[in-house]
Amino acid sequence: MNDIELQQEIQKVLELMNIHYKEISVHHDSDLHITLVNMRTTQDTELFMENNKSLLRDFSFVIKQVLKKQFHYHKDIIFDVNHTERDFINFTKEKASLALQRVQFFEKPYEFGYLNSYERMLVHSYLKKYKEVITESQGEGSERRLVVKKS
């Protein structure tokens, strides 16, 4: 499935749900090997913003299931409204890059403060391409921390 077909399928689902949007675009993040689908908002798609993150998660789940069932499409897709997710991912990648530089310069492990599971996954995914460092999560629950250290 190419980007245009993916975009068209998402548009069909949105139209069936009677949700209006300005534009849908597909972008690929080569660092994390994910596909970002961005929706520019109208009043309808503002439903997916800030207070209704669970609605966006639910919508993402429905779209992913449709794509799997009809097209056997299994890529990692992240839905983004007005590039908020893209900005968050880029910010998290910047934090991971800074941790990498600190480990390389000081030759000591770097421990992040609290990161939720999604942020930890992004950092792990981003840094796995650097063979000179390893990442691991330590601790349990709210005390779980991500550590970057030399391999």
Question: Any idea which fold 3-82 has?
Answer: GMP Synthetase; Chain A, domain 3 (3.30.300)
Q: In this structure, which CATH number among 3.30.1370.50, 3.10.310.40, 3.30.930.10, 1.25.40.340 belongs to the domain 88-150?
A: 3.30.1370.50
Give per-residue pLDDT as tens, 81-117.
888 889 999 999 999 999 999 999 999 999 999 999 9
Instruction: State the alpha helices, DSSP H only, in the chain.
Output: 3-16, 53-71, 84-106, 117-127
State the span(s) of the chain assigned CATH 3.30.300.20: 3-82
pTM, two decimal places: 0.85
Q: Are 102 and 110 in contact (CB under 8 A)?
A: yes
Degrees (nearest 5) of the Cα angle 135, 30, 112?
A: 25
Q: What percent of the chain has pLDDT over 70?
A: 95
